[in-house]
Amino acid sequence: MSAPQRPSFSRRVPKGDNRERHVCDHCGFVEYVNPRVVVGAVCTWEDRILLCRRSIEPRRGFWTLPAGFLEEGETVEEGVLREAREEAGAELELDGLLGVYSVPRVSQVQLFFRARLRSPAVFAGEETLEVRLASWDEIPWDDLAFPTVHWALQHFEVVRDRAVFSPFANPPGETGDLTS
């Protein structure tokens, strides 16, 4: 019996496809690499918004909303609730999809919800240096971690008092680059 062949992949266009992919040189298996999904929320207690100061890279020390990567086997709603618990000890009531943002530079799709805190009792989790419930005027706009955090906050402000709203997308011409 011969030893099994070690996997060996090349980048090429598989038959019936139109873009380069990693294809196994032995069996033709195609490895599809797809965007990662980030889920998060603009969470409020009365007129204040929950912010988390990041303790991890990228953008350590900058402020963000509770958000993170969706795990396998989770719904987007379950992921949002988990991320809020992990990052801020927060229990939420989700109140609708606020925005779907595309960030092709890092191959991400980010889904942000509007949510209410069940309690103002929040605390910094493992990936968070500190948490804060900030009024609109107290948001540290120059110290927000990512463009999508700016977008979600701005979009939240538009629909803050609306019972029904349609989800937002990237602002025109914006791709989520830190320089855009």
- State how far the alpha carbon of 117 is from the alpha carbons of 83, 98, 122, in Å: 13, 16, 9
Confidence at residue 178, expressed as pLDDT on a 0 to 100 scale: 74
Show me where the domains of the chain are located: 36-159
Confidence at residue 180, expressed as pLDDT on a 0 to 100 scale: 47
**Sites in the chain below the pLDDT cut of 50:** 180
Confidence at residue 92, expressed as pLDDT on a 0 to 100 scale: 98
Confidence at residue 5, expressed as pLDDT on a 0 to 100 scale: 77
How does pLDDT run across 7-21, given as a tens digit for each residue? 799 999 999 999 999
Confidence at residue 179, expressed as pLDDT on a 0 to 100 scale: 62
What helix, strand, coil percent values describe the chain, rounded to 5? 20, 35, 45
- Alpha-carbon distance of 148 to 20, in angstroms, equals 29
CATH topology of domain 36-159: Nucleoside Triphosphate Pyrophosphohydrolase (3.90.79)
